[in-house]
Amino acid sequence: MDHIQGYLQDLHSTLDLIPRPCIEQLIEILKEARLLDRQVFAMGNGGSASTASHFVADLGKNTRVQGMPHFRAFALTDNVASITAYANDEGYENIFSQQLAGLVRKDDVVIAISASGNSKNVLKGVALANAQGAITVGLTGFDGGKLAHMVQLNIHIPSSRIEQVEDIHMMVEHMVVSAMKEAARELARGTSEMIAIFTQPSNVLNNIRQLSDQSNGYEGDIKIVDQAKEFIQSSQAFINDLPNYDTLQRVLQFMVDTVKASSGSILLLGSDGSVTDGFLAYGGKVRTGAPHHLMDILREGLAGWVIEHDKGVIVADTRSDPRWLASQWDVAESAPRSAISVPLSNQTQVFGVMTLTRSNSEPYTECDLSFLTTIGAFLSINMINRKR
């Protein structure tokens, strides 16, 4: 009985020291991985191998929520044929790195579990993942070992009792999965509410009125509702292919035609805030933007302001607003223009921005901002729930 009491007391003391901010950071990493369709890999030896398998099983099964994408999660501990083949032919220290070599991609998540932090096969797996640009996370104990210094996020359990380190690693796994499940339910509820906007015209109208700070009158609202309905109905043929390269060009061209814009752009961002895709519409055509120009727009132009503040904006005159970055076709045009820009967001992060311009002889209004905000929300929902 004394032994049991002593074990529980030690466990309780260690629990008070676990790094809660690091666990919260892992939760955010996994939320983003889920929404952006990234892969999650887990690995470990012995009891930690079981924790890796358990982690993946829980991520795959216990976080399922209708309307939300499933996790793409894999335990590198589960394929006995691959493990024994690599161990026999190339050495046990290569069983994880060689599996990852054919699977891991930039911004995927690799979770390495090692109580000592010094397991050679785990360290080699993390080294390869880092080289490929993956996000690496360690679950360690004792003094953290070499692993603590190799991963980008280390969840360290300050205990020298391996049983309790493994106990708490499993508890961390359950904390994370529980938080992921609840976050998915909340996001799914929000997504369902947004989807309702596009199935009931009256809801579209109410949403537009709520989004508008100023009203242009009932007739203007009805016009926006009709435009939203037209876009939604017309886009069904291609919207499920988002974020396919060609589809994004079609979306931009469709929006330019719908609101009779003279030019426009769509920028998509990676997790590091850099532009991953971008398209410019001008002169009646949609073109792929030059990388340096797209980054200029992001750093210095209106798109950067929208992303930073996570809200839509109207520019009455692009020539007098400091947020507007003039381009070659701006200089060529003598008439001033009006611009409108809105973010694309998955509710946890802004991952894109859409901007349209036209002559300010017919300047954009708050109704136009509401319309583009509504369409931006529709695009965001479909990009989150895109077909695999």
For 351-373, what is the mean pLDDT?
A: 80
Residue with the larger pLDDT of the pair 146 and 351? 146
Q: CA separation (Å) from 68 to 64, 182, 189, 288, 385?
A: 7, 12, 10, 31, 7
108 with 229, same domain: the answer is no
Give the model confidence (pLDDT) of 147-157 as tens digits: 999 999 999 99
| E-only strand ranges, 126-274 | 135-140, 153-156, 263-269
Residue 351 resides in a domain: yes
Length of the chain: 388
CB 90, CB 98: distance < 8 Å: yes
Q: What's residue 332's pLDDT?
A: 47
Tell me which H or E stretch contains 354. Answer: strand 350-359
59 with 21, same domain: the answer is yes
40 with 178, same domain: the answer is yes
For 192-216, what is the mean pLDDT?
A: 46
Give the model confidence (pLDDT) of 65-78 as tens digits: 876 788 999 999 99
CA distance 139 to 156: 6
For 47-63, what is the mean pLDDT?
A: 97
* Closest of 113, 101, 121, 119 to residue 153, by C-alpha: 113
CA distance 163 to 115: 9
105 with 146, same domain: the answer is yes
Q: What's residue 381's pLDDT?
A: 67
Whether pLDDT at 119 is above 70: yes
**3-state DSSP assignment of residue 99:** helix
Residue 192 resides in a domain: no
Whether pLDDT at 286 is above 50: yes
Q: What CATH number does residue 278 fall under?
A: 3.30.450.40
66 with 214, same domain: the answer is no
* Closest of 197, 314, 184, 99 to residue 112, by C-alpha: 99
For 177-194, what is the mean pLDDT?
A: 72
SS (H, E, C) 268-306: EECCCCCEEEEEEEECCEEEECCHHHHHHHHHHCHHHHH
Residue 193 resides in a domain: no
366 with 242, same domain: the answer is yes
For 184-203, what is the mean pLDDT?
A: 54
Q: CA separation (Å) from 105 to 59, 77, 79, 108, 263?
A: 19, 19, 20, 6, 35
The set of residues, in sequence order, having a beta carbon less than 8 Å from that of 13 and lying 6+ positions away, is none
Residue with the larger pLDDT of the pair 379 and 124? 124
What are the backbone angles phi and psi of residue 363, rounded to the nearest 5°?
A: -65, 155
Residue with the larger pLDDT of the pair 291 and 230? 291
For 111-132, what is the mean pLDDT?
A: 98
For 330-341, what is the mean pLDDT?
A: 68
Ranking 208-222, 227-241, 258-272 by mean pLDDT, the lowest is 208-222
176 with 205, same domain: the answer is no
Ranking 43-47, 145-149, 194-198, 342-346 by mean pLDDT, the lowest is 194-198
168 with 203, same domain: the answer is no
Whether pLDDT at 270 is above 60: yes
Q: Which residue carries 């909340």 as its tokens?
A: 186
